Amino acid sequence: MFFPTQWTRSSTTFGKSYSPALKAVSRLLHMNEHLAGVTLMAFGNSSADLFSNLASVKRHVPVLANSLSSALFVTMITGGLICYITPFKMNAYETVRDILFLVLGTFLMDYFTSSSIIIKNEWHFLLVAFVYIVYILINVTDVYLLRRTINSTANKIQSLMEKESTPKNLEKIRKLEEKYDYYSQDGQVEIYERDSKLSQQTKMRYTTLRMARNSRVSVNRGLTRIRRLDMTQPKNRGLFKDFFLALRPIKCQAWRQADILGRTLLLIRAPAVILCTLYIPLVDYEMDKHGWNKLLNCLHVIINPALSISVLMSFLSSKANTLWYIAMQQQIVYGAYSLVLTVPFFIFILIKSRTDVPPSYHWIFTLMNLTGSMFIIFICATEIDKVLEVIANVMAIDDDFMGATVKAFTGNLSSLFANTAVAAHGYPKMAFASAIGGSFFTIVVTGNTVIYVRSLVGQDVTPRDQMEDYGLSAFLFLNLGLFTILLWSTTLGFFARRSMGLYSIALYSIYLIFAILVHEKVIHSFADDPQVSAAFGDI
């Protein structure tokens, strides 16, 4: 029951809380889908791996090999599922640019780790870090230039409309309007109305359906905010009713419509739903009142910071041979310190706000929504990873093989859930950008930083230690997959089709077969054999 529980808890968190928060934060920061994918989603999905590696920096783990394996899983499996779930039209220039940056990062890391016997060069670290900084700056600059182009095009249209309506001017206006519509598609993240078409396509025929353009309607955020507002009613009308309705783990309509299997899944999800409801505030512009629940959100102001601080301190203080929730008995006092700040806010919100309309500062709850969702997902992924590590030790499976195969899956469950959930919500461009940008972060930031920190603490970091038997295999399969993505995307006019998603998944399956055969010593890996020294003197 452990794996289904953790799996449903993660999927519930993504579907109910993470995706709406991500859209709200992206809109708040004036990002477009691509920039939100390569920054917010990429960092949120990959930063946990960086921190966990830094926390265990003295462990003998092939960091670069594991980073390449993780990037291969995210690019091929997650990217393939995105293409299969929601075929879409890629951003041509942005996609090619990101893939080329990822190829550059993998080749730089491979060159620097194989060019010296012991890796201690600060210039290597700074150069690779500079590449990532340039990558982010280029993406930000691209959005800035896109906005300037949109504004200048709008001004040109306005100036032409003020002139005489000649056929020549009308033709110019038509072309400029087409250009404006094309660029406006990627100008900013839009909040769309929910679309249930995807859930209705459950037959095998879904695999062979042609990709069609679906027009989606943007949400009127002002209307959904004030739809329930009634100034003639008291401001605390329905306070407890809304609270207890929000705490329902299973809705009556969903229970009546579900079969025996569906009801079983609803029962398994129930604890996760209650946990997410009590811990994570919901901010969803698609819902009436944007998900505002006065009494519940007041409790979130107290519960969310206190619980987050307590669990974080437990993770930091727990030793390698102890569980974090055992250490929480001593660390819970740090969460209690937050009550000094949160209780006054609780009282203020309870007195000043209404139940039928969210307050003007409701956007602040989006930050708690996003961080709380990431926190729960990190805990679930960590628990699954620990259990699989125990199973591997019992079955006497070496850590190198686990890191190249199983841990590449468990360590990227957050990326898998997040990207597929965002794609299913109608944002495949953001999800695919996150798959590429997250892989780039894993290799260039995580791998590069951990290797450099290891050299600072006095460890001899050799190329053999960082790649082991499976690192070069992951490197070759990753670059093969990236070049094939470039090939089929340019060939198909940057339309991501379901067949290409299945191809990416099949390529990763071949990598798994190759790794298993290497582990069973049926075939030899691409890695060089360690040099053998003579027992007595030089021969």
E strand segments, 448-525: 495-496
Specify the range with the lowest mean pLDDT, choosing from 29-43, 50-64, 243-257.
Answer: 50-64
Using DSSP's 3-state secondary structure scheme, residue 461 falls into coil
Residue 196 has pLDDT above 90, yes or no: no
Specify the range with the lowest mean pLDDT, choosing from 42-51, 248-257, 358-367.
Answer: 42-51
Residue 138 has pLDDT above 50, yes or no: yes
232-269 per-position pLDDT tens digit: 888 888 889 999 988 888 888 888 888 888 888 888 88
Stronger pLDDT, 459 or 154, i.e. the higher one: 154
Nearest CA to 314 among 332, 299, 298? 332
Residue 275 has pLDDT above 50, yes or no: yes
Instruction: Answer left, alpha or beta for residue 247, where phi above 0 means left and psi between -120 and 50 means alpha.
Output: alpha
Specify the range with the lowest mean pLDDT, choosing from 199-213, 365-379, 408-422.
Answer: 199-213
What average pLDDT does this structure show over 123-132?
Answer: 87
pLDDT-derived band of residue 460, with 50, 70 and 90 as boundaries?
low
Q: What is the DSSP letter of 496?
A: E
Q: What pLDDT is stored for residue 205 in this prediction?
A: 44
Stronger pLDDT, 113 or 236, i.e. the higher one: 236
Specify the range with the lowest mean pLDDT, choosing from 66-70, 142-146, 182-186, 271-275.
Answer: 182-186
What average pLDDT does this structure show over 407-413?
Answer: 82
Cβ-in-10-Å burial (0-12, 13-18, 19+) of 201 comes to: exposed
State the angle between helix axes of 63-73 and 92-114 in degrees (0 to 180), rounded to the nearest 10: 160
Q: Give domain limits for the chain.
A: 2-191+248-292+357-519
Residue 380 has pLDDT above 80, yes or no: no
Q: What pLDDT is stored for residue 109 in this prediction?
A: 87
pLDDT-derived band of residue 15, with 50, 70 and 90 as boundaries?
low
What pTM value is reported for the model?
A: 0.81
The DSSP H or E segment spanning 142 is helix 122-161
Mean per-residue pLDDT over the chain, rounded: 81
What is d(CA 267, CA 269) in angstroms, rounded to the nearest whole number?
A: 5
Concatenated DSSP letters of 262-300: HHHHHHHHHHHHHHHHHHS----TTSGGGG--HHHHHHH
Q: What pLDDT is stored for residue 320 in this prediction?
A: 60
Of all residues in the chain, the percent with pLDDT exceeding 90 is 21
Q: What pLDDT is stored for residue 43 in this prediction?
A: 86
Q: What is the CA radius of gyration of the chain?
A: 26
486-532 per-position pLDDT tens digit: 999 989 889 998 999 999 999 999 999 999 998 888 888 777 666 65
Q: Are 525 and 473 in contact (CB under 8 A)?
A: yes
The DSSP H or E segment spanning 394 is helix 364-394
